[in-house]
A and B are shown apart, each in its own frame.
Chain A
Amino acid sequence: MNRSWTPFNITSVVLGFAFLYIPIIILIIYSFNASKLVTVWAGFSTQWYAQAFQNAGLMSAAWVTIRVGLISATVATVLGTMAALALVRYNVFRGRFLFSGMIYAPLVMPEVITGLSLLLLFVSMGMDRGIVTVILAHITFSMCFVAVVVQSRLISFDRSLEEAALDLGATPARTFAQITLPIIAPSIFAGWMLAFTLSLDDLVIAQFNSGPGATTLPMKIFSQVRLGVTPEINAVCAILVAAVASGVIIASVLLKRQEVRRMRAEQLAAQA
Chain B
Amino acid sequence: MNVKSSQQRRAYQPWEDAEAVPFIEFRNVTKRYGAVTAVDNLSLSIYEREFFALLGPSGCGKTTLMRMLAGFEEITEGAVYLAGEDLSSTPPYRRPVNMMFQSYALFPHMNVEKNIAFGLKQEGMPKAEIADRVAEMLSLVKMQDFASRKPDQLSGGQRQRVALARSLAKQPKLLLLDEPLGALDRKLREETQFELVDLQESLGITFMIVTHDQEEAMTVADRIAVMEHGKIVQVDPPVHMYERPNNRYVADFLGNINLVEATIDKISKDVVTLATPTGNVLTVNHAGGGSPEDKVWVAARPEKLSIGLQKPKQVNCLPGEVWDIAYLGDLTIYKVKLDSGEFVKVSVLNQTVSETRDITWEDQVWLSFEPEAAMILAS
Contact = CB atoms under 8 A, between A and B. Distances in A.
B103 A158 contact: yes
B92 A167 contact: yes
Given A264-B152, A271-B156, A272-B184, A168 B170 contact: yes
What range describes how many residues of B lie at the interface?
A: 20 to 34
B93 interface: yes
A178 B108 CA distance: 12
A134 B167 CA distance: 51
9 contacts: A160-B103, A164-B107, A165-B118, A166-B92, A167-B92, A167-B97, A171-B93, A174-B122, A272-B184
Given A168-B118, A272-B183, A163 B92 contact: yes
A261 B183 CA distance: 20
B159 interface: yes
Interface in A149-201: 158, 160-161, 163-172, 174, 178-179, 182-183
Nearest to A268: B152
Main SS class of interface, A: helix
A98 interface: no
Interface of B: 70-72, 91-94, 97-99, 101-103, 105, 107-109, 118-119, 122-123, 151-152, 155-157, 159, 166-167, 170, 183-184
Contact of A164 (B91, B99, B184): B99
Given A167-B98, A167-B99, A161 B92 contact: no
A271 to B, nearest CB: 7
A258 to B, nearest CB: 11
Given A160-B101, A160-B103, A272-B184, A168 B152 contact: no
Contacts of B98: 167-168
Give the one of B92, B97, B123, B166 with max A CB within 10 A: B92
A81 B156 CA distance: 33
Contact of A166 (B93, B151, B159): B93
Contacts of B184: 272
Contacts of B108: 161, 183, 261, 265
Contacts of A163: 70, 72, 92, 99, 101, 105
A169 B152 contact: no
A102 to B, nearest CB: 27
A268 B122 CA distance: 29
A82 B142 CA distance: 42
A168 B156 contact: no
Contacts of A271: 156
A169 B159 contact: no
A168 B159 contact: no
A120 to B, nearest CB: 44
Contact of B70 (A167, A170, A269): A167
Of all A-B residue pairs in the complex, the 8 with the closest CB atoms, nearest first, are A272-B156, A168-B119, A164-B105, A169-B122, A160-B105, A166-B92, A272-B183, A160-B101
A172 B274 CA distance: 63
What range describes how many residues of A lie at the interface?
A: 20 to 34
B122 A272 contact: no
A146 to B, nearest CB: 21
A42 B108 CA distance: 57
Given A160-B103, A163-B92, A169 B119 contact: yes
Contacts of B91: 166
A165 B71 CA distance: 13
Given A168-B119, A168-B166, A269-B183, 8 more contacts: A160-B101, A160-B105, A167-B97, A168-B98, A168-B118, A170-B118, A182-B109, A272-B183
Give the one of A161, A168, A183, A268 with max B CB within 10 A: A168
B279 to A, nearest CB: 55
Give the one of B107, B157, B166 with max A CB within 10 A: B107
Given A161-B105, A183-B109, A167 B156 contact: no
A82 B107 CA distance: 22
A87 B252 CA distance: 45
B178 to A, nearest CB: 9
A272 B92 contact: no
A272 B159 CA distance: 9
Given A170-B118, A183-B109, A265-B108, A272 B157 contact: yes
B156 A158 contact: no
A163 to B, nearest CB: 6
A269 B103 CA distance: 8
B183 A170 contact: no
A168 B155 CA distance: 23
Nearest to B151: A265
Contacts of A166: 71-72, 91-93
A265 B118 contact: no
Give the one of B94, B97, B118 with max A CB within 10 A: B118
Given A174-B122, A264-B152, A269-B183, A158 B93 contact: no
Nearest to A174: B122
B105 to A, nearest CB: 4
Contacts of A183: 107-109
B122 to A, nearest CB: 4
Contacts of A179: 107
Contacts of B155: 268, 272
B152 A170 contact: no
B95 to A, nearest CB: 8
Contacts of B103: 158, 160, 269
B111 to A, nearest CB: 13
Contact of B93 (A161, A167, A264): A167
Contact of A261 (B93, B102, B152): B152
A161 B107 contact: yes
